[in-house]
Structure 1
Amino acid sequence: MDRRTLLTLGLGGGVAVLALGAGVAVRQVMESRRAARVTGTKLGAPFRLTDHNGQPITEAAFQGRPSLLFFGFTHCPEICPTTVYDMETWLSEMDVAPEALGAYFVTIDPERDTSEFLKSYLEPQSHRILGITGEPEAVWDMAKSWRVYFQKRPLDGGDYTMDHYASIFVLNARGEVVDLIPYGTAADEAKAKIAAVL
Structure 2
Amino acid sequence: MADPFPELEEEQTPEERAAGQKTFHKVVWVLVAIFAGIGLLALFGPDRPSAPDQPTNYGDTVGGAFSLTAPDGSTVTDQTLKGKPFAIFFGFTRCPDVCPTTLAKMARLRQQLGEDGDRFEIVFVSVDPGYDSPEDVGRYVDLFGTPIIGLTGSDEDIAKVTKAYHAYYEKVPVEGGDYTIDHTAAVYLMDREGKLQSIIDYQEGPEASLAKLERLVG
TM-score, L = length of structure 2 = 0.73
State the 1:10 CA deviation: 6.7
In the alignment, is the contact (CA less than 8 A) between 2:185 and 2:201 conserved in 1?
yes
Cα shift readout 1:57-93 (whole Å, capped 9, x = no counterpart): 0011331111101011111101000001000110012
Q: Which residue of 1 aligns with 2:58?
A: 29
State the 1:29 CA deviation: 2.7
Distance 2:138 2:115 in 1: 22
The alignment status of 1:56 with 2:75, answered yes or no, reads yes
The alignment status of 1:44 with 2:63, answered yes or no, reads yes
State the 1:115 CA deviation: 0.8
3-state DSSP class of the match of 1:83?
Answer: helix
Distance 1:176 1:126 in 2: 27
Gaps of 5+ in 2: 1-46
3-state DSSP class of the match of 2:56?
Answer: helix
Distance 2:207 2:159 in 1: 32
Distance 1:42 1:61, change over 3 A: farther
Q: Percent of pairs identical after alignment? A: 29
The CA RMSD over aligned residues, in Å, is 1.8
Q: Please identify, of 123-132 and 149-158, the stretch whose mean Cα deviation from structure 2 is larger.
A: 123-132
- Residue number among 135, 160, 167 corresponding to 1:116 in the alignment: 135
Cα shift readout 1:88-114 (whole Å, capped 9, x = no counterpart): 110012114565101100111111111
Q: Which residue of 2 aligns with 1:185?
A: 204
Distance 2:117 2:79 in 1: 17
Distance 1:160 1:116, change over 3 A: same
State the 1:53 CA deviation: 2.7
In the alignment, is the contact (CA less than 8 A) between 1:70 and 1:105 conserved in 2?
yes
Mapping of residues 1-198 of structure 1, within 5 Å: 11=49, 17-19=51-53, 23=54, 26-30=55-59, 41-96=60-115, 99-198=118-217
Distance 1:126 1:61 in 2: 23
- AA aligned to 1:62 is L
3-state DSSP class of the match of 1:192?
Answer: helix
- AA aligned to 1:125 is F
Distance 1:97 1:124, change over 3 A: farther
Gaps of 5+ in 1: 1-8, 31-40
State the 1:43 CA deviation: 2.0
In the alignment, is the contact (CA less than 8 A) between 1:42 and 1:175 conserved in 2?
no
- AA aligned to 2:52 is L
State the 1:55 CA deviation: 1.4
TM-score, L = length of structure 1 = 0.80
State the 1:125 CA deviation: 1.1
- The ranges of structure 1 where at least 4 consecutive aligned residues each deviate by more than 4 angstroms after the TM superposition are 96-99
Distance 2:117 2:211 in 1: 18
Q: Which residue of 2 aligns with 1:3?
A: none
Q: Which has the larger radius of gyration?
A: 2
Distance 2:115 2:93 in 1: 25
